[in-house]
Structure 1
Amino acid sequence: MARSLNSLRRPVLAAAAVAAMAGGAALALPGQSTATTGSNPTQPTTICLTGSTSTATEVTVTLPQVAADPVLAYTPSYAGPCASYGAPSSLGNGTLRTFAQLDSAQKPLAIGIVFPKPTLQNLPTTMTDQHHCYDVDGNGQIDEHTECMGGHEFPLPLPGALTSAPGVPYKWALVNFNLMGHGPEGIYDVQHFDFHFYIQPKAERDQIRAGSCGLVMNCDDFATATKPVPAQYMPPDYISNGTAEVAMGNHLVDQTSPEWHNVLFTKTFIYGAYDSKISFLEPMITKAYFDGLSSGSNTNGCFPIKQPQSFEVAGWYPQDYCIRYRANRDDYTVSMENFKHS
């Protein structure tokens, strides 16, 4: 560890020099306005200090804001305490992996998925990995467009530091890449990713069978999936429109979201349900939106998540989901943030 800490001295010294040359003015980070850096240049700021994108040399430090800003701008360091990570899974020319940032009291600050820019290159060119298919019309053949669901799925373990923290209801994560999207037709049938954070244990989710109802779902399981969620656990403006899917459950959609009003889908937030219970939380984002982040035509941002009156399973729940391209690390993050205990 001593060698790792010594290897980080150069970026800190460089940052101090940059800060001095800047005359004590806080520098804006890539993709952020100067308002996000704070008005007090001496304000203590926690960052994860690192000289590379490897997670092996990350160290949480506190610096004055005036020094933290250039470190974040000109090294692969990032804001907040250092993250814990789950095991990676390969996709495209890169990987997907979960991450979590916790404060000193083990409250989650961010829970999400991180992937380097090359992950979006050389993506699968087939509709599905055929993990969840069913011969709905009984003709002895599988039509990947209509009789398979889930696209290409990537189950991901959450970091152990997160799942062992008190009040954390999330058990695992699932990313789906959908080459040509999925139904409903004219809404979500564009290339996109689904980022699921499951409250439901994976073993239970895996028992949701394929069949001829809903989105290639066993009819008994479809009936279970579409049982109404009690009103106090249902977020405002969300409805069930029968989009229950094999190996996943029901999808509750925000009927006020732009894609339901003749606006091209780019991003949205879904609640999942099974057997009258909220089973997962899901940001859904197009590949084009990510491409726009790295090209500069879209900007990093956080977006509010509509909250039910309460959650049946007590714990920490996000009030925002955030989508970012980190130019200093050449990667993307999709995260749930601004947690409140319910």
Structure 2
Amino acid sequence: MRAKKFLSWRALLGAALAISGLTLLIWPTIPAQASGSGPEAAAATTGSVSICLVTADAPTRERNVKVAQWAAEVLLQETPSYRGPCASYGTPSALGNGTVRTYAQVAGNKPQTVGIVFPKSMLTGLPTTMTDGHHCYDMNGDGTVNEHTECVGGHERPLDLPSQLTSLPGMPLKWALVNFNPMGHGPEHIYDHPHFDFHFYTQSKAERDAIRSGPCGLAIDCDDYATATKPLAPQFMPQDYKDNGVAEAAMGNHLIDPFSPEWGSTAFTQTFIYGAYDAKISFLEPMITKAWFEGIEAGVNPSRCWPIKQPQQWQIGGWYPQEYCIDYRANRGDYTVSMKNFKNSAA
């Protein structure tokens, strides 16, 4: 009987939310008469959860609230709310039939989450050509540019990070960049699947933009190739990562983890890349196939996190993420690609 009462409170709350958009319920705990007794009831009535409260009738209004765990579960099912703290957002940029934009969740002076969010509609209506033509070079000098062999970068969307994040003391991240590669890119049979590159830069945008196109490496200027491939000191190289000289125009060098599954017998689905330029880490990059996102919504792939391998020492002290995550939020109809669990290397 008590269990039925507990469920009725949940049903009542769900109905109230659906009808009123929110009469809420910032109740600290479930009412005692509905909670029953025993360890399960004790767990349900203790503690609170931070939620960013959003309602369907005001989807752009976000409020930080603390509620009991049972109420949080209902809110995350019945409203577009999400686990707090509330995010701040960067400027959206159109891509496909949607947009991409950055977001950050900050608690006090500590970053909680830094990522990119987009509606599921973004995965439709995407560009189909190899590249947007922004970074090309006639490498063989035949007077024409082959978009498959002489262009890099796919279709790019530079994004600003929220000022709430970039103004934090010790925050090395400066801006972000999303690249969509409709046909993937090299190496052949590794990354030649339609996928997205999500770059989070420690290098300024002006410095990145100054990496010119040219006839060396991946359509990069030869002097800039030499700068891009300057070796990092061993203590600054992330654990297990290798420098294969994969330097690219408007990007820099790419450091790869040879222990990532795609370098074995498993097809590429997602991985983590570090960028380097002038003997310094320049960006952090989750790289994810379009099919992986679609599989999450379909229930084939899980929403989950993976650890980010760290260097022994960071050249610039500050906040660095220890894991990256890919999530589909069904109650909001969107995806997030995020970096979490920040630790201060200077502490």
Task: Verify same fold: TM over 0.5.
Answer: yes
1:89 aligns with 2:93: yes
1:285-296 equivalences under 5 Å are 285-296=288-299
Which has the larger strand fraction? 2
Provide the rounded CA distance (Å) in 1 between the counterparts of 2:18 and 2:75: 14
1:152 aligns with 2:140: no
1:304 aligns with 2:307: yes
Q: In the alignment, is the contact (CA less than 8 A) between 2:273 and 2:284 conserved in 1?
A: yes
Q: CA offset at residue 42 of structure 1?
A: 2.8
Provide the rounded CA distance (Å) in 1 between the counterparts of 2:197 and 2:63: 31
1:43-58 equivalences under 5 Å are 43-52=47-56, 56-58=60-62
Give 3-state SS (helix, strand or coil) of 2:220's partner.
coil
Instruction: Report the structure number with the largest CA radius of gyration.
Output: 2
Provide the rounded CA distance (Å) in 2 between the counterparts of 1:154 and 1:191: 16
Provide the rounded CA distance (Å) in 2 between the counterparts of 1:55 and 1:74: 13
Deviates more, 1:324-333 or 1:64-73: 64-73
Give 3-state SS (helix, strand or coil) of 2:118's partner.
strand
The AA in structure 1 aligned to 2:146 is D
Give 3-state SS (helix, strand or coil) of 1:243's partner.
strand
Give 3-state SS (helix, strand or coil) of 1:108's partner.
strand
The AA in structure 2 aligned to 1:44 is S
Provide the rounded CA distance (Å) in 2 between the counterparts of 1:8 and 1:159: 34
CA deviation map 1:127-165 (0-9, x unaligned) = 110000000000001100000000000000000111111
1:161 aligns with 2:164: yes
1:54-203 equivalences under 5 Å are 56-103=60-107, 105-203=108-206
CA 1:228–1:9 in structure 2 vs 1: closer, same or farther (change >3 Å)? farther
Q: CA offset at residue 39 of structure 1?
A: 5.0
**Which segments of structure 1 move beyond 6 Å, counting only runs of 4 or more?**
6-9
Provide the rounded CA distance (Å) in 1 between the counterparts of 2:156 and 2:290: 15
In the alignment of these two chains, the number of paired residues is 321
Q: Which residue of 1 aligns with 2:11?
A: none
Provide the rounded CA distance (Å) in 1 between the counterparts of 2:128 and 2:207: 30
1:264-303 equivalences under 5 Å are 264-303=267-306
Q: CA offset at residue 10 of structure 1?
A: 3.9
CA 1:64–1:187 in structure 2 vs 1: closer, same or farther (change >3 Å)? same
The AA in structure 2 aligned to 1:323 is I
Q: Which residue of 1 aligns with 2:5?
A: none
Q: CA offset at residue 205 of structure 1?
A: 0.3
Give 3-state SS (helix, strand or coil) of 2:180's partner.
strand
Q: CA RMSD in A?
A: 2.2
The AA in structure 1 aligned to 2:162 is P
The AA in structure 2 aligned to 1:285 is I
Unaligned ranges ≥5, structure 2: 1-16, 37-41
Q: CA offset at residue 49 of structure 1?
A: 0.1
Q: In the alignment, is the contact (CA less than 8 A) between 1:194 and 1:283 conserved in 2?
A: yes
Q: In the alignment, is the contact (CA less than 8 A) between 1:15 and 1:71 conserved in 2?
A: no
Q: Which residue of 1 aligns with 2:256?
A: 253
Q: In the alignment, is the contact (CA less than 8 A) between 2:115 and 2:337 conserved in 1?
A: yes
CA deviation map 1:208-265 (0-9, x unaligned) = 0001111111111111101111111111110011111100000000010111112100
Counterpart among 211, 216, 221 of residue 213 in structure 1:
216
Q: CA offset at residue 282 of structure 1?
A: 0.2
Provide the rounded CA distance (Å) in 1 between the counterparts of 2:50 and 2:19: 15
Provide the rounded CA distance (Å) in 2 between the counterparts of 1:56 and 1:206: 33
CA 1:48–1:114 in structure 2 vs 1: closer, same or farther (change >3 Å)? same
Provide the rounded CA distance (Å) in 1 between the counterparts of 2:256 and 2:119: 29
Q: CA offset at residue 68 of structure 1?
A: 1.1
Q: In the alignment, is the contact (CA less than 8 A) between 1:89 and 1:154 conserved in 2?
A: yes
CA 1:109–1:139 in structure 2 vs 1: closer, same or farther (change >3 Å)? same
The AA in structure 1 aligned to 2:66 is T
Q: CA offset at residue 7 of structure 1?
A: 11
Q: Which residue of 1 aligns with 2:46?
A: 42
Unaligned ranges ≥5, structure 1: 1-5, 26-37
Q: CA offset at residue 106 of structure 1?
A: 2.1
Provide the rounded CA distance (Å) in 2 between the counterparts of 1:61 and 1:201: 36
